[in-house]
Structure 1
Amino acid sequence: MVATEMDYIHIIGNASLMVKFVLLLLLFFSVMSWAIIIIKIRYIRKAFKESDIFIDYFWKSRDLAGAFTKAKQLDGSPVARIFRIGYAELRKLNTGKGGDEATADERAPSLRHEFSGTDNVKRALRRAINTEMTRITQMVPFLATTGNTTPFIGLFGTVWGIMNSFHGIGQRGSASLAVVAPGISEALVATAAGLAVAIPAVIAFNHFMQKIRVIESELHSFSADFLNILDRDILR
């Protein structure tokens, strides 16, 4: 094992400048990809956990003011954030219909007031969902870029290593294994490095996109349910 590691170090240390540059570039993509993977795993895990807590509280309490207070405590939940925006828009409607502006910030909208409709709330929720989707998908496209480009970057290093091998053959006039082995080794290391960077990035990208689609569906479902509650119980 130690001998094998020393062989790899020796191969990389004696590689051409171009191959070293390729390996450094692949190292950059790898570090960035794993940083994004760790960040997104924590972010999405927190989003699911806190959204479950908020949705459970929302349906059990049916108290918009209490749900708003709970939503402010669950800043990692996309569902809670869109509810806060929708509730804030609802308070604006209530205040505009003659509610007490000094005390409207923390109380539920009055059931006595009649409102013209839910168009403003719908638009606010739609904007909030778009904002949340932008937030959730941030940095994820970099994983797709990594998965698509790093194999070709590694392939470039492979081609360069093979070119060096043929150049060595031409200079020495010999095609012995001792002449071609260093260049071929560089080529194989570059190819392996490109695949090693690309495979985790592709797996993580597909995993995150599946989770993001679930969150998006959950946001749209909650938005529709919230609007139904407003139409049925509050704004009619």
Structure 2
Amino acid sequence: MDFSLTGIWEHTGAFARFIIFTLAFMSVSSLVVMAERMLVFRKSRKDSRNFAAKMGAILAKGDLQQATGTNMGKDVGHLGRVIGSGLTAFRISPSNKDVAVESVARALERQAQREVQSLKRGLGVLATVGSTAPFVGLLGTTMGIVNAFQQMSVAGSGGLGTISAGISEALITTAFGLLVAIPAVIAYNFLSGWVDGRSVDISESSNEFLDVVARHMGGGSHAPQA
């Protein structure tokens, strides 16, 4: 038997080929998610940094009236959308300090949860591929071993040569399953870590914005216009 990839493929049964095609589909799906999330994360980070540089200068002066009236455009990233929700809540909040601060805090929390969930979109695919691909390959391995013993039974004799095709089929599906799972697990861990980092950034920025609101209200200069 030819033990090259082409030779093994030619001797692979229908079920093993189905397993390989399934793993190929899972691999393509995970690669698409990886590429899409990397592009989204890169753009969101860039837009958030631009927003922080512009809005940070305004908020550093404590001028919330100017901040609420500043149009930052649509591309503000995850950070801009969170702080933007806080500015909106501040603009329509009553003059009572405690009520206003609480209203802004709730708005920031709600939008932060939306942004984190949005950033996590698609990561479930990577987690599923990373956890199930080895088992899919193992299924092909099991069936390959079963076929090998069937070949031995039909031949009526033992020996490695009799069952070599079945063993090769089993090993190739196992290897393919691991080849699909390992990049998916690595990508999932990396992207999940990135999302966790942005979650911390959002929390810190929200708290800093709340401090600005509290100081502004404490100064008695809050006169929002709906």
Q: TM-score range by the shorter chain?
A: 0.7 to 0.9
> How far off its partner does 1:134 sit?
0.9
2:100 counterpart residue number: 117
What corresponds to 1:86 in structure 2? 86
Aligned to 2:38: 41
Which of 94, 113, 120 is the equivalent residue of 1:130? 113
Q: Which of 132, 142, 147 is the aligned partner of 1:159?
A: 142
* Equivalent residue, structure 2, for 1:205: 188
Q: Secondary structure at 2:73's aligned position in 1?
A: helix
What's 1:103 paired with? Answer: none
**C-alpha distance in 2, partners of 1:221/1:175?**
68
1:227 to 199, 210, 215: 210
CA–CA separation in structure 2 for the residues paired with 1:69 and 1:228: 20
Q: TM-score, normalised by structure 2?
A: 0.86
Identical residues among aligned pairs (%): 31
Q: How many residues align?
A: 213
- The 2-side partners of 1:195 and 1:209 are apart by 21
* Structure 2 residue 57 is matched with structure 1 residue 60: yes
How far 1:119 sits from its partner (Å)? 1.1
Aligned partner of 1:217 among 189, 195, 200: 200
- TM-score of the aligned structures, taking structure 1 as reference length: 0.83
Q: Structure 2, unaligned stretches of length 5 or more?
A: 221-226
Distance 1:156 1:84, change over 3 A: same
Q: Cα offset for 1:234?
A: 4.1
Q: Closer, same or farther in 2 for the Cα pair 1:114/1:176, shift >3 Å?
A: closer
Cα RMSD between the aligned structures?
A: 2.1
Gaps of at least 5 residues in structure 1 are 98-112
Moved runs in structure 1, 4+ residues, more than 6 A? none
